[in-house]
Amino acid sequence: MSLKSVKEAEANVQELTVTIDAETFRAAVVKVYNKQKKNISIPGFRKGKVPMHMIEKMYGKGVFYEDALDDLFPAAVDEALKESGIAAVSAPYDANVSEIGDDGVKFTIKVATKPDVDAGEYKGLTAEKAEAEVTEDEIDHEIDHLRDQNSRMIDIDDRAAAMGDIANINFEGFVDGVAFEGGKGEDYDLTLGSGSFIPGFEDQIVGRSVGEEFDVNVTFPDEYTPELASKAAVFKVKLNSLSLKELPELDDEFAKDLGEYDTLAELKEGIKKELLEHKQHHADDDFENALRNQLVENMKAEIPAVMIDEQAKQNKDNFIERFRSQGISYEQYLAYTGMDEATLDEQIRTEAEKQVKLRLTLEKIAELENVEISDEDIEAEYDKIATTYGIDIETVKKIAPVEGIKGDISVQKAMKIVVENAVPVAKAEKAAEETAE
């Protein structure tokens, strides 16, 4: 097996002509014959005992050629790429066999090569960055949520239903005396005053007693489903039980019960700190995303279409698998969202193009900035992957080649350089800059 020639097919795409010698190819053909002969039968011969030349005579000389070439193809391509010194950034594609037979094989393949990249401006970029602030209302909202989580339910059996109560009900709805689909429920907990049901429904439970059975008369809103919109309905309802949510007192004891704080003041301060960290993280993410978009806009390169095609395919495969793991098929997703496949493919490809451009740009920045990667960097990245996916670090090292890890670290460091040299501006300032431009 050897490399015959290399020529540029188009910008950043090389076409390699590869040959496989007659002896190597014939050996592969014989190997395929030995593997398949047990399943071949010809009149006059026992199954599995048919001579190779008889099979070739009956089915054609090239009966085993395709499988033999499939076996040899990966190694032949690897050897050709090594011999050429080409650093391919895509899998081989557009394979074309021009000769195959007793004299061996000759075929061509194309591979994309990394394009020359002009990273453009990447230092001193400006982007909007929100200032992380936490209001008292936000702190109170979190505290209310904690109180709700630590509430207890109290059964009510000494009075009629009132707004704020949780009514456990059985119900069935009828329109023109006929039950309608989706209008029935049992042991349903309904918080009176929540507005969860049709307007007027909850009001008619107020004043009723546990065990009472009664009718609730309502009219469906005009904007309801077409089958029921504007129609009068009668719900047969039974009030099974009443309960009330009792919230804990908002004091130091409540803070102590949560197990982290000694006073209510400390609890509020802790919540403020957590909210501030969350908002800061969100602001940092938005800031970096804005910088990434600018990097993509500023870069220039002739990118082979196959690089984007491969990224788009990988993104789509991951997209489909993510929903499949949740029990949702690709077809179901399209039906639920009302999106057609062509539109989704276009969105996926657009995102793939951005990913490829960003990666190429950051790789170029890493080169320009002479980014160095230490053994400690590599070990930390392996540890991060192992922690993220909950697998042993040695397993990660087996499935994640070190060169790929180095590449990921280099683009991370390049992005850090961009961020550290960027200028965050407030929203008003950014708007003023854009107006001036």
Task: Name the class of domain 2-112.
Answer: alpha beta
Q: Average the pLDDT over 205-234 and give the result.
A: 93
In the chain, residues under CATH classification 3.10.50.40 are 152-246
CA neighbor of 244 nearest in space, from 313, 167, 329: 167
In the chain, residues under CATH classification 3.30.70.1050 are 2-112
> From CA 285, how far away is CA 403, in angstroms rounded?
27
Report the pLDDT value the prediction gives residue 421, as an integer from 0 to 100.
Answer: 97
CA neighbor of 264 nearest in space, from 176, 357, 132, 139: 139
- Counting residues of the chain whose pLDDT is more than 70, the rounded percentage is 97
Q: Average the pLDDT over 162-169 and give the result.
A: 95
Q: Average the pLDDT over 351-375 and give the result.
A: 96
Residue 427 pLDDT grade (very low, low, confident, very high; cuts 50, 70, 90): confident
| 3-state SS track over 12-52 | CEEEEEEEECHHHHHHHHHHHHHHHHHHCCCCCCCCCCCCH
Strand, helix or coil for residue 70: helix
CA neighbor of 304 nearest in space, from 85, 13, 95, 9: 13
pLDDT tops 90 at residue 44: no
Higher-confidence residue of 419 and 48: namely 419
pLDDT tops 70 at residue 335: yes
Which residue is it, tokens 């993509």? 296
| Tokens encoding 113 | 């090569």
Q: Average the pLDDT over 142-151 and give the result.
A: 93
pLDDT tops 70 at residue 429: no
Range in 48-57, 83-92, 175-184 the model is least confident about: 48-57
pLDDT tops 60 at residue 431: no
pLDDT tops 90 at residue 73: yes
Mean pLDDT of the chain: 92
| Tokens encoding 371 | 């980014």
Matching CATH number, 264-436, of 3.30.70.20, 3.40.50.720, 1.10.3120.10, 3.20.20.70: 1.10.3120.10
Cβ atoms of 301 and 119 within 8 Å: the answer is no
Q: What are phi and psi of 182, to 5 degrees?
A: 80, 5
In the chain, residues under CATH classification 1.10.3120.10 are 264-436
pLDDT tops 60 at residue 329: yes
Identify the bridge partners of residue 184 per DSSP, sorted by sequence position. 172
Cβ atoms of 318 and 352 within 8 Å: the answer is no
Q: Give the contacts of 332 (CB within 8 A, at least 6 positions apart).
A: 323
Higher-confidence residue of 175 and 435: namely 175
> From CA 171, how far away is CA 181, in angstroms rounded?
13
Range in 67-71, 214-218, 339-343 the model is least confident about: 339-343
- 379-415 pLDDT, tens digit per residue, is 999 999 999 989 999 998 889 899 899 999 999 999 9
Matching CATH number, 152-246, of 2.30.30.40, 1.10.3720.10, 3.10.50.40, 3.60.15.10: 3.10.50.40
- 261-309 pLDDT, tens digit per residue, is 999 999 999 999 999 999 999 999 999 999 999 999 999 999 999 999 9
